[in-house]
Structure 1
Amino acid sequence: MPQTVKGVIARSKGADVELVDVVVPDPGPGEAVVKIDACGVCHTDLHYREGGINDEFPFLLGHEAAGVVEAVGEGVTEVAPGDFVILNWRAVCGQCRACAKGKPWYCFATHNASQKMTLTDGTELTPALGIGAFIEKTLVHAGQCTKVTEADAAAVGLLGCGVMAGFGAAVNTGGVTRGDSVAVIGCGGVGDAAIAGAAIAGATTIVAVDVDDAKLEQARRFGATHTVNSKDAGGRDAVVEAVREITGGNGADVVVEAVGRPETYEQAFYMRDLAGTVVLVGVPTPDVEVTLPMIEIFGRGGALKSSWYGDCLPSRDFPMLVDLYKQGRFDLDAFVTERIGLGDVEAAFDKMHGGQVLRSVVEL
């Protein structure tokens, strides 16, 4: 029988979120109902509320989540009731051209649940990133559930988006390895995860770049060996020069841009070493453009890459990262600034605007 549970929706562009009754259908073929234990409040949820993703209101917000599978539909073999899972928004199809080439982390036909969750009046909801996890129970495609060893849901649930995006940008996309020098521009949750990933991968010099001294100090907790306040440095060239000086005058082997702005991307381009790699993981707005001299693109060599979800494969990466967390080698607890209730999401958005939190996490 369908269940009626509490969930957080964005009914219209810019309006405060609402805690309402949501009808969750029984899982159909290939689907699962998951009881949510915890869900992080991500900038992407705020983008949905502000109409920055699309206009398919009302949205059921939330996507960085972990919980326990309650029921599965016909044909589901990946997970079973009682499994502790992290939800992911790229359930690979196994059949598209990317999957056929052995690169499923680029899957072009990822799965979502076929059925819709609704309001009690029958209004269909659009789940954020195909998940919708600011809710007591949610309906997803079974492929969006990655079984892992049970752990603190508030911490490991963050692997569902921001932490995986940053860690993977450094390790999967950037290919950071032992002895590398790395610079990370933008030290929010994604940037700090990139710093942590670089440290775990064995980078010996990790430079954190931001405009906020408090964020730079926090970046050291995740593994930054040096910091540069770009606001105090005195312009783009001065920031680039500061990173070059730290890296022996050469520039970093890998630069992760976690802001998504033209000016910071240009800094990333110029602060890398010859044949170095730039990884863009900060999400730009559709209206911005970047201009670079082609002779510099040619002459510097290396690679300019974009990172989608940290180029992760959830079935491969989530269990490994949970194991690192449980071994004390990856401090996911440090990303959790506060633990809140379902009714506190709007206040969490306000704190996010003010830069007061790394992550607020809703616990149910």
Structure 2
Amino acid sequence: MDIPKTSKAMVLTRFSQPLELLDIPVPELKDGDMLVKVDLASVCGTDVHLARDELSMHPPTPIIMGHETVGEIYYLPDSVKTDVAGTPVKAGDRIMWSHFFDGTCYSCKVLHEPVLCEHSRGYGFSNAYELRGGYAEYEVVLSGTDFVRVPDNVTSEEAVGACCAGRTVVNAFDKLYNCGGIRQGDSVVVTGVGPVGLYAIVMAAQSGASRVIAVDISENRLEFAKKWGATHVVNAKDHPDEAERVKYIRGLCGGRGADVIIECSGVLSVFAENFKILANPSKYLIIGQTSDKSVPIVPNDIQHHNAVVIGSHSGDIRHYIKCLKFIEAHKDKYPFGEIISKKYPLAEANVALADMRSGVALKAALVNG
């Protein structure tokens, strides 16, 4: 099979400037490398912030963004026969893949937490001329990268959520359940109903919680949350006074507060306010915070509520697989594919980013052709 010489890509050449459509040379593939043709690349909220250099990490430009990608295998080396789960693969199969983890460092070998790998190589954050981002026609998947075949009965629109939001929530729920999890009858509050919040809602809804309360400022997102299992929704704009808002949400939890709060909004003031909504005892799972800014909190709010506070970030291939299985099992009950609210041609990536930032799109996705 002939390897294409170039790939069109939307490239972040400078922060806070529009992406540029460039022809990027396809790098020479090393032993074990795959080349995939991008089928669907969804736009993450992280991309929106990365484009303006608003994250706590600051990778150098130029960058091809896009770490949420379903790709069709275009070139498969002879050395690769199966995905990480042992499923046979061939050219034309759809796959999704984690960031590259080297498997040799302390985090990988001793902690068995590859997401903490000290020598990881990310997709969607690297130099554009390495062709390792989804905002492109083709993408290189490095030798040794864990990948999984997308089941034939799961659409790319349903699957792509597992590439970031879904696997992030699965990893976070694994940590939550290491600390007791969501018990039968618990009240769960999810603050922030973007893609991460939606996966938190649907997984809480399947956990046995008696109440799953979604909090956001977007009516459209709150309506969507109902489809994904929220029993109650709260538009924070309807409760502008903090004390009244806290009292109202605590009331929805039976008056004693939330047994579990899952923070997915990324808003610092919401992170701090949530401590006032906690029941006693309680668990506070933090997934959505990406800023390097600070906010004051009262440490006694943690101690007084006998609260377990858990932070979680990203996920590895185990969490992709678990999320795909969750989607496959519940796809007839929840509209997972509808999370992609609008598709854009690759060349309109700047419009997609703008629509994500403004809230016009819940989840934008780029397509080729």
Q: How does 1:213-252 map to 2 (within 5 A)?
A: 213-252=219-258
Aligned to 2:298: 293
Q: 1:201 to 1:113 in 2, by over 3 A?
A: closer
- Give the structure 2 partner of residue 313 of structure 1: 318
Q: Which residue of 1 aligns with 2:30?
A: 28
| Letter matched to residue 149 of structure 1 | P
Match of 2:86 in 1: none
SS in 2 for 1:14: coil
Instruction: State the distance in 2 between where 1:307 and 1:147 align.
Output: 25
Aligned CA distance change for structure 1 residues 68 and 37 (closer, same or farther; 3 Å): same
CA distance in 1, matches of 2:182, 2:150: 25
Question: Would the aligned equivalents of 1:183 and 1:256 in 2 still touch at CA under 8 Å?
Answer: yes
What's the offset of the Cα at 1:310? 5.6
Offset at residue 255 of structure 1 (A): 0.6
What residue identity is the alignment partner of 1:84? Answer: R
**Is contact 1:169–1:307 with CA below 8 Å preserved after alignment?**
yes
Deviation at 1:108, TM superposition (A): 2.1
Deviation (angstroms), 1:359: 0.8
Moved over 6 A (4+): none
Report the equivalent of 2:352.
Answer: 348
Q: Residue 208 of structure 2 aligns with which residue?
A: 202
Deviates further, 132-141 or 277-286 = 277-286
| Structure 2 unaligned residues grouped into runs of 5+ | 84-88
**C-alpha displacement at 1:162, in angstroms?**
2.4
Higher mean C-alpha displacement, 136-145 vs 354-363: 136-145
Give the conservation status (yes or no) of the 8 Å contact 2:11–2:22.
Answer: yes
1:182 touches 1:198 (CA, 8 Å); kept in 2?
A: yes
Q: Does 1:162 align with 2:165?
A: yes
What value does the CA root-mean-square deviation take over the aligned residues? Answer: 2.8
Contact 1:206–1:224 at 8 Å: present in 2 too? yes
Change in CA separation of 1:315 and 1:347 when aligned onto 2, cut-off 3 Å: closer
Aligned length: 352
After alignment, is 41-50 or 91-100 more displaced? 91-100
The alpha carbon displacement at 1:34 in A equals 1.4
Structure-2 change in CA distance of 1:319 and 1:221 (3 Å): closer
**Relative to structure 1, is the Cα distance of residues 220 and 315 closer, same or farther in structure 2, using a 3 angstrom cutoff?**
closer
The CA distance in 2 between the partners of 1:76 and 1:117, in whole Å, is 24
**CA deviation profile, 1:64-87 (whole Å, cap 9, x unmatched):** 111222224575455444232113
Q: Which moved more, 1:68-77 or 1:291-300?
A: 68-77
- Describe how 1:130-145 pairs up with structure 2 within 5 A: 131-141=132-142, 142-145=144-147
1:84 maps to which of 76, 88, 94: 94
Name the structure 1 match of 2:108: 99
How far apart are 1:132 and its partner, in Å? 0.2
Q: 5 Å matches for 1:30-179?
A: 30-52=32-54, 53-73=57-77, 76=80, 78-79=82-83, 80-82=89-91, 83-89=93-99, 91-101=100-110, 103-104=112-113, 106-109=115-118, 111-112=120-121, 125=129, 131-141=132-142, 142-150=144-152, 151-166=154-169, 168-170=171-173, 172-173=175-176, 175-179=181-185
- What is the alpha-carbon distance in structure 2 between the residues aligned to residue 77 and residue 171 of structure 1? 30
Q: SS in structure 2 opposite 1:273?
A: strand
Q: What is the distance in 2 between the residues matched to 1:296 and 1:28?
A: 53
Change (3 A) 1:350 1:317: same
AA of the residue aligned to 2:336: L
Task: Report deviation, 1:3.
Answer: 2.7
**CA 1:182 to 1:113, structure 2 compared with 1: closer, same or farther past 3 Å?**
closer
> Residue type of the partner of 1:34?
V
1:274 is matched with which residue? 280
**Equivalent residue runs for 1:250-265 within 5 Å:** 250-265=256-271
Q: CA distance change for structure 1 residues 98 and 331 in 2, over 3 Å: closer, same or farther?
A: farther
In structure 1, list runs of 5 or more residues that go unmatched.
119-123
Q: Distance in 1 between matches of 2:19 and 2:358?
A: 18
Larger mean Cα displacement after TM superposition, 294-303 or 185-194 = 294-303
Amino acid aligned to 1:251: G
Which one-letter code corresponds to 2:117 in the other structure?
F
Q: Is 2:337 the partner of 1:333?
A: yes
- Residue 15 to residue 219, structure 1, CA distance change in 2 (3 Å): same
Shift of 1:246: 1.1
TM-score of the superposed pair, with normalisation by structure 2: 0.85
CA shift for structure 1 position 315 = 5.4
Contact kept in structure 1, 2:59 and 2:126, CA below 8 Å: no
- Displacement, 1:27? 2.9
Relative to structure 1, is the Cα distance of residues 158 and 110 closer, same or farther in structure 2, using a 3 angstrom cutoff?
Answer: farther
CA distance in 2, matches of 1:238, 1:113: 43
More off after superposition, 33-42 vs 80-89? 80-89
Deviation at residue 201 of structure 1 after TM alignment: 2.3
Q: 1:315 to 1:275 in 2, by over 3 A?
A: same
When residues 74 and 272 of structure 1 are mapped into structure 2, their CA distance, relative to the original with a 3 A threshold, is: farther
- 201-210 or 43-52, which deviates more: 43-52
